[in-house]
A and B are shown apart, each in its own frame.
Chain A
Amino acid sequence: MTSPSLVGKNARRFAAPSVIPGFGLTFGYTLIYLGVIVLFPLATLIWWSSGLGFSGLYAIASEPRVAASLRTTFFISFAAAFVDLFFGLIVAWVLTRYDFPGRRLLDAFVDLPFALPTAVAGISLAALYSPNGWFGAPLADYDIKIAFTRWGILVALIFIGLPFVVRTVQPIISELEAELEEASATLGAGRLQTVIRVMLPPLAPALLTGFALAFARSIGEYGSVIFIAGNIAYVSEIAPLLIVVKLEQYDVPGATGIATIMLAISFAALLLINLVQAWSRRRFGHV
């Protein structure tokens, strides 16, 4: 499709002259990769659901069980990403700012939710938080139920989302000069003022990125959630599970319909987060 000379011409137009060759090759690879791996499957999804039309999609979305599952998925994902924002920041701060024995080991633990098969995480969490589990039993004494409720979903999503925040914020924290804190202190600011006025603003863009990643991951999370959620229709049933349920009932249009709606909402949410991020970079990013 593309002759070398054409790529060469494009290269001259799109890329600044560089000593490192390979614009054509890498650009072509990027396009093919994104096309085959990302866009093509998404296009297929939209193609499949296009038979439904907008009215069909609306009908699926307003089906009470589907609507409930979408609400569950998006609200709890948002809440989990929000919690991760705080804990992730604290974990990242401790791991970069302090030197203590076992720091590297602890640092490696952060990645475990990345590496662990999500089902393993789900089963362990369910076992821990079930009414006779190590955490679940003491909590049950106070009439707090975590496993097999929406809280269970929240716990699972917090678990899998944490590394995203930690890993995006960590490098920025290590770049913050200690002198900034000291300057703030010599000017009379207390610790809390220093944190809020001096340390947090430069971290805002990275925190938002971490939040977006954790949120996106949570929306699609399946394995760890289904074991702990209890999957009660209208209460603790997540949208990805409902897709599987519909597929098992050979309701392919219903499944692709939910998937398309999720795709649209996710895209809108991430776009919004990106816009906020672009704004925060302009606002705080004069680095």
Chain B
Amino acid sequence: MLTRSPDALAATEGSKRGTSIRIEGVEQDFGAFPALRDVSLDIQPGELVALLGPSGSGKTTLLRVIAGLNSPDRGRILFDGENATNLPVQDRHVGMVFQNYALFKHMTVADNIAYGLRVRPRRTRPPRAAIKARVMELLQFVQLDGLGGRYPAQLSGGQRQRVALARALAIEPRVLLLDEPFGALDARVRKDLRRWLRDIHKQTGLTTVFVTHDQDEAMELADRVVVLNEGRIEQIGTPEELYDRPASPFVISFVGEAVALPVTISDGHVTFGGRELHIDTHGLRSGPARVFFRPADIAVTAEGSGDLEGRVESLRRTPAGVRATIAIDGYDQTLEIDSPLDRSASLGGRVPLSLAKARIFPADENGDYVNAGDGI
């Protein structure tokens, strides 16, 4: 249990040691639908971690398991090495920011923020004046000074978001959990709040976990990103690792744009539509496979040296050069390529294309991927 001195109440910024979170083999079923399947994860003290995945991937369920709002069917949650699996929500001291903020609409902003302190048993409840001071301090911290008397309905989305955060911080949480923190906001406010959340994290030093389906958000904010799909962790890594060494076809296509070419491997040679691609198969079995690459990793090249060939569908002038829409032979979608002016081809003409970087994953007969191999 945490015991807090009155002084600790005053300290919002810095100096706080984060709590480590350990998740061991957590599984959760909702009826027949498995929401989490054998999820294990270590979060370092003070780390900022993003749970990234499409809807239904289990990311919110995992966050709720950490918060104690869901109890897992199997597995353990440890805070600072202590088993917290059966600790009730009230005693976990987590600061949770809900997707729709879940502000108490009948309370003023100040009352919302003070709530977590006022509901404490008399023994641990700070005196009235201390609560008031703490609310003032937090209002200032989230840059809402002077708005303490307003009701949530009188605030903008971004302001409500900040009230929700201040309310969560008021209880001096061990960890900060945010469910789609910027989901309901418009693009410009999101950008501002992202930077702001990064600052808050730096200042409080709290271990912070946030859920998002927006890969840009995860990549920009987080120290490490946990990619979830269908209740499983696909990959855990820094943004660099996810971009440069995606562990699975899912990760490469979810994190950034990717083109997937159906190819065949035979005796270590990769062929696509009759042409050989110069890709290291790394001892993959012969058979069907897929080559993944990012649009940025393909470029128009000199005649005769290309891995692939395509037809120029349209050309558009950009400040730096030309953006060409190119249809690759044997691939059903077009892709856009930026190329410098001098390399530009004529409309409808055929251009050779070279792959700078690609990854290859084998596929079974149904086109499902079995395990990962390394690319070029």
Q: Which positions in A face B, CB cutoff 8 Å?
A: 177, 179-180, 182-190, 193, 197-198, 201-202, 283-287
Of B68, B69, B95, B104, which is in contact with the most chain A CB atoms at under 10 Å from its CB? B104
Query: Please, how many angstroms separate the alpha-carbon atoms of A1 and B94 in the complex?
Result: 69
Query: Please, how many angstroms separate the alpha-carbon atoms of A98 and B152 in the complex?
Result: 29
**Contact among B69, B105, B106, B153 for A186, CB-based, below 8 A:** B69
B311 near A: Cβ within 8 Å?
A: no
Are B104 and A182 touching (Cβ within 8 A)?
no
B129 near A: Cβ within 8 Å?
A: no
Are B115 and A283 touching (Cβ within 8 A)?
no
B369 near A: Cβ within 8 Å?
A: no
Are A287 and B98 touching (Cβ within 8 A)?
no
- A285: chain B residues within 8 A (beta carbon): 106
- A186: chain B residues within 8 A (beta carbon): 67-69, 89-90, 92, 94-96, 168
Are A193 and B119 touching (Cβ within 8 A)?
yes
Are B115 and A201 touching (Cβ within 8 A)?
no
B356 near A: Cβ within 8 Å?
A: no
Are B106 and A182 touching (Cβ within 8 A)?
no
A186-B96, A187-B116, A187-B167 are known contacts; what are 18 more A-B pairs with Cβ within 8 Å? A177-B100, A179-B98, A179-B100, A182-B98, A183-B167, A185-B89, A186-B89, A186-B95, A187-B115, A187-B168, A187-B171, A188-B90, A188-B93, A188-B171, A190-B90, A193-B119, A197-B104, A286-B154
11 sample A-B contacts, Cβ–Cβ < 8 Å, listed by A number: A182-B102, A183-B96, A183-B98, A183-B167, A184-B104, A186-B68, A187-B168, A193-B119, A197-B119, A202-B106, A284-B106
Are B120 and A188 touching (Cβ within 8 A)?
yes
B151 near A: Cβ within 8 Å?
A: yes
Query: Please, how many angstroms separate the alpha-carbon atoms of A186 and B102 in the complex?
Result: 12
Are A183 and B106 touching (Cβ within 8 A)?
no
Are A197 and B105 touching (Cβ within 8 A)?
no
Are A286 and B153 touching (Cβ within 8 A)?
yes
Query: Please, how many angstroms separate the alpha-carbon atoms of A185 and B68 in the complex?
Result: 10
- B171: chain A residues within 8 A (beta carbon): 187-188
Residue of A nearest to B67 (CB): A186
Query: Please, how many angstroms separate the alpha-carbon atoms of A284 and B108 in the complex?
Result: 10
Please give me the 9 A-B residue pairs with the lowest Cβ-Cβ distance, nearest first.
A187-B116, A179-B102, A286-B151, A183-B102, A189-B119, A284-B106, A186-B96, A201-B106, A185-B89
Residue of A nearest to B98 (CB): A179
Of B68, B102, B151, B167, which is in contact with the most chain A CB atoms at under 10 Å from its CB? B102
Are B105 and A185 touching (Cβ within 8 A)?
no
Of A180, A183, A189, A198, which is in contact with the most chain B CB atoms at under 10 Å from its CB? A183
- B105: chain A residues within 8 A (beta carbon): 202, 286-287
Query: Please, how many angstroms separate the alpha-carbon atoms of A285 and B94 in the complex?
Result: 29
**Given A177-B100, A182-B98, A287-B153, A189–B106 Cβ distance below 8 Å?**
no
**Contact among B69, B92, B115 for A182, CB-based, below 8 A:** B69
CB distance from A49 to the nearest CB of B (A): 44
The A-contacting residues of B in range 156-172, CB under 8 angstroms, are: 167-168, 170-171
Residue of B nearest to A186 (CB): B96
- A198: chain B residues within 8 A (beta carbon): 104
- B154: chain A residues within 8 A (beta carbon): 286
- B93: chain A residues within 8 A (beta carbon): 188
- A197: chain B residues within 8 A (beta carbon): 104, 115, 119
CB distance from B252 to the nearest CB of A (A): 34
- B69: chain A residues within 8 A (beta carbon): 182, 185-186
Of B103, B115, B167, which is in contact with the most chain A CB atoms at under 10 Å from its CB? B115
Are A188 and B102 touching (Cβ within 8 A)?
no
- A189: chain B residues within 8 A (beta carbon): 90, 115-116, 119
- B68: chain A residues within 8 A (beta carbon): 186
Are B106 and A185 touching (Cβ within 8 A)?
no
Query: Please, how many angstroms separate the alpha-carbon atoms of A238 and B120 in the complex?
Result: 49
CB distance from B60 to the nearest CB of A (A): 12
CB distance from B351 to the nearest CB of A (A): 53
- A201: chain B residues within 8 A (beta carbon): 106
Are B106 and A190 touching (Cβ within 8 A)?
no
- B67: chain A residues within 8 A (beta carbon): 186
Residue of B nearest to A287 (CB): B105
Residue of A nearest to B119 (CB): A189
Residue of A nearest to B97 (CB): A183
The A-contacting residues of B in range 60-113, CB under 8 angstroms, are: 67-69, 89-96, 98-100, 102-106
Query: Please, how many angstroms separate the alpha-carbon atoms of A169 and B95 in the complex?
Result: 31
CB distance from B316 to the nearest CB of A (A): 42
Query: Please, how many angstroms separate the alpha-carbon atoms of A186 and B104 in the complex?
Result: 13
- B103: chain A residues within 8 A (beta carbon): 183
CB distance from B119 to the nearest CB of A (A): 4
Residue of B nearest to A189 (CB): B119
Query: Please, how many angstroms separate the alpha-carbon atoms of A283 and B95 in the complex?
Result: 28
Query: Please, how many angstroms separate the alpha-carbon atoms of A184 and B118 in the complex?
Result: 11
Of A177, A184, A193, A286, which is in contact with the most chain B CB atoms at under 10 Å from its CB? A286
Query: Please, how many angstroms separate the alpha-carbon atoms of A164 and B106 in the complex?
Result: 24
- A184: chain B residues within 8 A (beta carbon): 104, 115, 119
CB distance from A185 to the nearest CB of B (A): 4
- B91: chain A residues within 8 A (beta carbon): 188
Are B90 and A177 touching (Cβ within 8 A)?
no
CB distance from B109 to the nearest CB of A (A): 11
Are A182 and B96 touching (Cβ within 8 A)?
yes
Query: Please, how many angstroms separate the alpha-carbon atoms of A187 and B91 in the complex?
Result: 9
CB distance from B68 to the nearest CB of A (A): 8
Of A185, A188, A283, A287, which is in contact with the most chain B CB atoms at under 10 Å from its CB? A188
- B94: chain A residues within 8 A (beta carbon): 186
- B90: chain A residues within 8 A (beta carbon): 185-186, 188-190
Query: Please, how many angstroms separate the alpha-carbon atoms of A190 and B92 in the complex?
Result: 13
